[in-house]
Amino acid sequence: RFVVRQYGEPPAFCHRKTLTCWGHATGIRELQETLQSRLRNAPPGSYTKRLFDDPDLLRQKLVEEAQELAEATDADHVAAEAADVLYFAMVRCVAAGATFEQIESHLNRRSLKIQRRPGNAKQSRTDAANKILKDAQAEKAAKAGAEEAGKSGSVTAGSAVAASTTASSQRVTYMGPIAAAAAIIFILQGLRQRL
């Protein structure tokens, strides 16, 4: 078995400067190419560039979108949330210099394992994710409380604190990182079969 690596800008095999003779990449590969392009030269105001420049925001969005995927119920909503998770996951990968080909390689190696770990969630990761979600909810509630108070004519520190306190006292449920990773791997395997 041998592997052909295509180089160039964009990586191209065909004389049309495309990866294949059948046109430009689509799906995950198109997303990867777009993100790599944004990393090198993003247009002004690019949200993707903002994510590259703000690792904390990217981390928060990854956790948020994984939670939304866990909570989605119907097939279309699950697919939409999975697309969001894949986008933010690929932004993280491109920022780190990882490629979809490397992800596929890891998936292929894992599928060959004979013995597997139990796959339980790591409590420290779950606790950290819960804190991120709780803080994000509190911030959102504080902003909403401040906006509501502003509409009524007065914004006080008390109204924002009350909104923040209410949000932070709510119970946050979270799909553990292992379960989220398993969901992402499942989605990527399905996409790989289509590509």
Residue 160 exposure: Cα atoms within 13 Å on the Cβ side:
11
* pLDDT tens digits in sequence order for the chain, 195 residues long: 777 777 766 666 666 666 667 666 678 888 888 899 899 999 889 999 999 999 999 999 999 999 999 999 999 999 999 999 999 999 999 999 999 889 989 988 888 877 777 777 788 878 888 888 788 788 878 888 877 777 765 444 343 333 333 333 333 344 455 555 555 655 555 555 544
Residue 79 sits at the vertex; the CA angle it makes with 75 and 84, to the nearest 5 degrees, is 150
* pLDDT confidence of residue 60: 93
* pLDDT confidence of residue 184: 62
* pLDDT confidence of residue 167: 39
What's the whole-model pTM score?
A: 0.58
**Three-state SS letters, the chain:** CCCCCCCCCCCCCCCCCCCECCECCCHHHHHHHHHHHHHHHCCCCCHHHHHHHCHHHHHHHHHHHHHHHHHCCCHHHHHHHHHHHHHHHHHHHHHHCCCHHHHHHHHHHHHCCCCCCCCCCCHHHHHHHHHHHHHHHHHHHHHHHHHHHHHCCCCCHHHHHHHHHHHHCCCCCCCCHHHHHHHHHHHHHHHHHHC
Residue 187 backbone zone (phi > 0: left; psi -120 to 50: alpha; other: beta): alpha
